[in-house]
Homo-oligomer: A and B are copies of this chain.
């Protein structure tokens, strides 16, 4: 199979919320509405390099769980997102040996393989080129997270249409357009 078999983390209200997550969420959710926006998310998350994630990254992250399409997520969705991001950051750090905040093409390939993807070398080159149009052939931690969110969302959309897990789907125009637009910023 060309993609991993994991689905989104649990957003079940029975899920145990860690005290750290609870505290972060409460700090950010100033009006106590119980839901946070991409802008609030940005202020809550460190990117592991002493900075914050880009607006694009934050909007894509909110979009992973924002089922009502109102641009917000609740505490349980935040917990699931937090788990995702930390897992991705762990993978990234594992390949960023000099802690420079960026990884090379070979390392991106190894990182995605570790995450369960089986992608061609041409495709990895395309990913690097798309993420870093300046031609340095490296990918930063922020670009990596954006890529992980996008790949995760498109993979989930593909998987639910790939009933027999063949890695090939048949899809109509409107459905295709909906998936594509739904997972884009």
Question: Chain A interface (Cβ within 8 Å of chain B)?
Answer: 2-3, 56, 69-71, 119-120, 123, 126-127, 129-130, 133, 135, 150-151, 154-155, 158, 162, 167-174, 176-185
Residue of B nearest to A126 (CB): B178
Chain B contacts for A183, CB-based, 8 A? 180, 184
Beyond A154-B177, A154-B180, A183-B180, whether A169 also contacts B167 by CB under 8 A is: no
Beyond A183-B184, A184-B183, A185-B56, whether A123 also contacts B169 by CB under 8 A is: no
Chain B contacts for A169, CB-based, 8 A? 170-171, 176
* A176 to B182 CA separation, bound complex (whole angstroms): 14
Selected from B70, B71, B151, B184, the residue in CB contact (under 8 A) with A150 is B184
Contact B135 A70 (CB under 8 A): yes
Contact B177 A158 (CB under 8 A): yes
Rank and list the top 10 A-B pairs by shortest CB-CB distance, nearest first: A184-B184, A2-B173, A71-B133, A154-B180, A185-B185, A167-B173, A170-B170, A168-B172, A69-B129, A154-B177
